[in-house]
A and B are shown apart, each in its own frame.
Chain A
Amino acid sequence: DIQMTQSPSSLSASVGDRVTITCRASQGISNSLAWYQQKPGKAPKLLLYAASRLESGVPSRFSGSGSGTDYTLTISSLQPEDFATYYCQQYYSTPPTFGQGTKVEIK
């Protein structure tokens, strides 16, 4: 199975800050990476797929980049509704696997 490692596990930031979350795969995944946002007590929501493609309806302050084994999710200007936990997920091979999550908290 491909292991996905996110960093940091948590971070504190203020509204308006630029936030970057990193996801590293244990082997190359050819941009087969999705990012999800999960708020407490709610189901995850797809933000990006193919490493950098924004899902319809997702604000443009979210962006993704990377290649090979290393990928990033960037929130250009953090908004109050963005405080949540973010997960990366590889779909390059079965079983699909998730990172452990990054909790974005209010500073």
Chain B
Amino acid sequence: EVQLVESGGGLVQPGGSLRLSCAASGFTFSSYWMHWVRQAPGKGLVWVSRINSDGSSTSYADSVKGRFTISRDNAKNTLYLQMNSLRAEDTAVYYCASDPWQLNWFDPWGQGTLVTVSS
């Protein structure tokens, strides 16, 4: 069974940092593109970042470019999102999602981890 489990969310002050992790199992992680998508409370879905299968290529939404870094460790079957200079508007549930066809659609998704940026 394909499974994605996020961790690392929590409460952080504005300007602070946080690293999210997404542990993958049940599929050949090293063959798949991976993404982070976020959802602010009561709002819609917003794509955040993508990384290709070997980690050599990344892409970011303009709203997080220069502040967030996506990475992966294929030996550990784990995806990461390093978030720096956090702002109140980064408050959201962050989902990791796999992209088996490398087409920028998302299937499946993890259960999400909540990041709250507040003083």
Contact = CB atoms under 8 A, between A and B. Distances in A.
A100 B44 contact: yes
A89 to B, nearest CB: 7
Given A44-B45, A97-B47, A98-B44, A55 B59 contact: no
A44 B37 CA distance: 10
A87 B97 CA distance: 15
A94 to B, nearest CB: 6
Contacts, number: 54
Q: Is the interface of B mostly helix, strand, loop or mixed?
A: loop
Nearest to B45: A98
B95 interface: yes
Given A87-B44, A95-B47, A95-B59, A43 B103 contact: no
Interface in B33-72: 44-47, 50, 59, 61-62
A89 B61 CA distance: 15
Given A44-B106, A89-B45, A96-B104, 15 more contacts: A32-B103, A36-B45, A36-B106, A43-B112, A44-B109, A45-B108, A46-B105, A87-B44, A87-B45, A94-B50, A95-B47, A95-B62, A97-B47, A98-B44, A101-B45
Interface of A: 32, 34, 36, 38, 42-46, 49, 55, 87, 89, 91, 94-101
Interface of B: 44-47, 50, 59, 61-62, 95, 103-112
